[in-house]
Amino acid sequence: MSKQKRILVTGAGGFIGHHLVARLKKDGHWVRGADIKYPEYENSAADEMEILDLRKAEDCLLATRGGIDEVYNLAADMGGIGYITANHADISRNNILINAHMLEASRQNGVKRFLFSSSACVYNQSKQKDPEVKPLTEEDAFPADPEPGYGWEKLFAEELCRYYYKDYGFETRIVRFHNVYGPLGTYDGGKEKAPAAISRKVALARDNDEIEVWGDGEQTRSFMYVDDCVEGLTRIMASDCRDALNLGTDELVTINGLVDMVAGIARKRITKRHNLSGPQGVRGRNSDNTRLRKELGWEPSIMLQQGLAVTYAWINSRVRQSIRKEETVGAD
């Protein structure tokens, strides 16, 4: 086992943060979680779970106190394509405050290493207009034309991490997530991403039912299972690479194909009703993992079919529980 570290995970009440805390505890580290909320579905494995508003500088100083060795800064105001296209001001303001205050608090409190969670939304939109998109290399973020709001603030925070290393010698790592999914993720309420939203819709549908799909369904994405994501995070934190790194798979699928895959797992025949006015983001996005393989000697390997089977089973069980509760209430 590696030497025990004192680690802070911000966003520990969220999907990826919750899984990361569990992994770091399994690896034998002392972990503090910080978030504006507790985890929704399971109790945190963290040694300390603190409810803090990381938009405030004083709360970031509290979170990073006490000899923290490493910070995984996953805290963010974010969600699926519907949410991030409708809330540019709130998302940009909240995340700029979180990231700037967390970087400065970590530096002031002597944190040794800081990992920033960026996003594939930083990539130049002109390079994502074809469903048969060429996998995006890290250099494809420039010249800058990221997605409005969320993409711009992520790209700026990447630059801020570089400035902190250049000006202060503060060790930062930058990871660009490509569509993470898995159990314990948000699956309803408007902030869910495509695999979870589709899994929920299919779980609620009966055989031969119809579900709504935003756009024509021919837009493409790659999706990464949360276990691969967590493995990648720990490897990137331990690496010597200060440049941004893609963290995703290069298994490209259309949204229509994603629906068919989930329906197959559920053993249901599902008809798609395409809503052409619904938000759908860029036309195609895929991860080039060349640099990741070079730096880490590793890349995500869990295939979409395998990860979706576990994810759908979890979401389906949650949907069934909700239906049973409603029926019980209705019977009273």
Instruction: Tell me the per-residue pLDDT of 151-203, one tens digit each, with 9 for 90 and over.
Output: 999 999 999 999 999 999 999 999 999 999 999 999 999 889 999 999 999 99
Per-residue pLDDT at 194: 93
Q: What pLDDT is stored for residue 231 in this prediction?
A: 98
Comparing CA positions, the residue from 219, 312, 223, 319 lying closest to residue 274 is 219
Residue 53 lies in a domain: yes
Over residues 287-293, the mean pLDDT reads: 98
CATH of the domain at 174: 3.40.50.720
Residues designated as active site: 150
> Structural domain tally of the chain?
1
Q: Answer yes or no: is 301 within a domain.
A: no
Report if residue 304 sits inside a domain.
no
In a domain, 210, yes or no: no
3-state DSSP helix/strand/coil % of the chain, to nearest 5: 45, 20, 40
Nearest to 272 by CA among 218, 309, 191: 218
% the chain with pLDDT above 70: 98
How big is the chain, counted in residues? 332
Q: Which of 114, 129, 23, 127 shows the shortest CA–CA distance to 72? A: 114
The pTM (predicted TM-score) of the whole model is: 0.95
- Specify the pLDDT at position 106: 98
**pLDDT at 331 (0 to 100):** 61
| Residue 196 lies inside a defined structural domain of this protein | no
pLDDT for the residue 5: 98
In a domain, 164, yes or no: yes
What is the per-residue pLDDT for 277?
87
Residue 11 in any domain: the answer is: yes
CB 298, CB 245: distance < 8 Å: no
Residue 137 lies in a domain: yes
Torsion-angle region of residue 247: left (phi > 0), alpha (psi -120 to 50) or beta?
A: beta
pLDDT of residue 12: 98
pLDDT at 2: 65
Residues 220-245: pLDDT tens digits? 999 999 999 999 999 999 999 999 99
Which three-class secondary structure state does DSSP give residue 222? strand
| Residue 68, domain extent | 6-181+224-247
- Across 191-279, the runs of DSSP E, i.e. the strands, are 210-214, 220-222, 224-225, 244-247, 252-254, 271-275
Per-residue pLDDT of 33-63, as tens digits, reads 999 999 999 999 999 999 999 999 999 999 9
Is the model's pLDDT at 85 over the cut of 80? yes
pLDDT (tens digit per residue) in 131-158: 999 999 999 999 999 999 999 999 999 9
Looking at residue 330, its pLDDT comes to: 65
